[in-house]
Amino acid sequence: MSAGMDQRAAPILEFDPAPTALIEPSMVVRHREGVPFAAVVCFFAEVVQEVCGEGRAELLLTLGMESPCALFALDVGGRRRVAVVHAGIGAPMVTTIVEELIALGCGAFVACGGAGAVVPDLVLGHVVVPDRALRDEGTSYHYLPAAREIEADPRDVAVAVAVLERNGVPHTVGKTWSTDAPFRETPAKVARRRAEGCVTVEMEAAALLAVARHRKVRFAQYLYAGDDVSGETWDHRSWQRWSSRRALFDLALEAALEL
């Protein structure tokens, strides 16, 4: 245990600032020529299949250990390519994939996915750009010292917002609540998160921001308001069938290239 660590504290608070770990991503995958610098981490499996499946994008390799996922290189505009991956859900899995992508040569990331609406006026499909995340998950604490929130890089937020404005997309810039346990989003917790300014709830943003800061790469995220957890009962709103998930992916491609 590092000097100064409180042996009585919860293990998740025992941050070790050592610059390298026993297992580094470069030991699992090697830098590879042809892997695009810009990458989109998409949480919509059907969109990745629609855009990249059946030979519509080059399959570069398979990432991951026990839960493999395909890494594609997608031609955009005939001259530039973007790495595209569907990395599953949850901070541990997604950050593992992003770590491997960084080792391969990616350095600018945009994630796009859905989120629960914590505030009642966030209509289905409304786009949110997180400028900070409340760290109610575990992964980020292994990358940064303990703190309640993590801020996004304002430069990256500005790029993501500029893309939305250029395309005339209504949006909100605000705080998201990242949690590991969607089945433990109790009414009392939702109320507390709303009171401290959270507009959405999801599972990955805090950890992805922490990895980006630790590895010194660019990162922004697009969320769309999906199910509604702001009321007395859960409103699913059929959020996974929202018709504009592909459009949000296309915006993420544009933003990734600009980053």
Is residue 243 in some structural domain? yes
Q: In the prediction, which pLDDT does 181 show?
A: 96
Q: What is the dihedral of CA 39, 45, 46, 47, to 10 degrees?
A: -10
Q: Locate tokens 């590879």: which residue?
A: 32
Tokens of 56: 């519509």
Is residue 245 in some structural domain? yes
Q: In the prediction, which pLDDT does 5 show?
A: 52
Residue 239 belongs to domain spanning: 32-258
Tokens of 201: 């709830």
Q: What is the dihedral of CA 159, 253, 141, 22, to 10 degrees?
A: -120
Residue 106's domain is classified under what CATH number? Answer: 3.40.50.1580
**What are the phi and psi torsion angles at 76 (to 5°)?**
-125, 115
Is residue 213 in some structural domain? yes
Average pLDDT over residues 174-182: 97
Q: What is the pTM of this model?
A: 0.94
Average pLDDT over residues 57-77: 89
Q: How many domains would you assign to the chain?
A: 1
What confidence tens digit (pLDDT) does each residue in 32-41 have? 889 999 999 9
Tokens of 78: 């005939």
**What are the phi and psi torsion angles at 105 (to 5°)?**
130, 0
Is residue 16 in some structural domain? no
Is residue 198 in some structural domain? yes
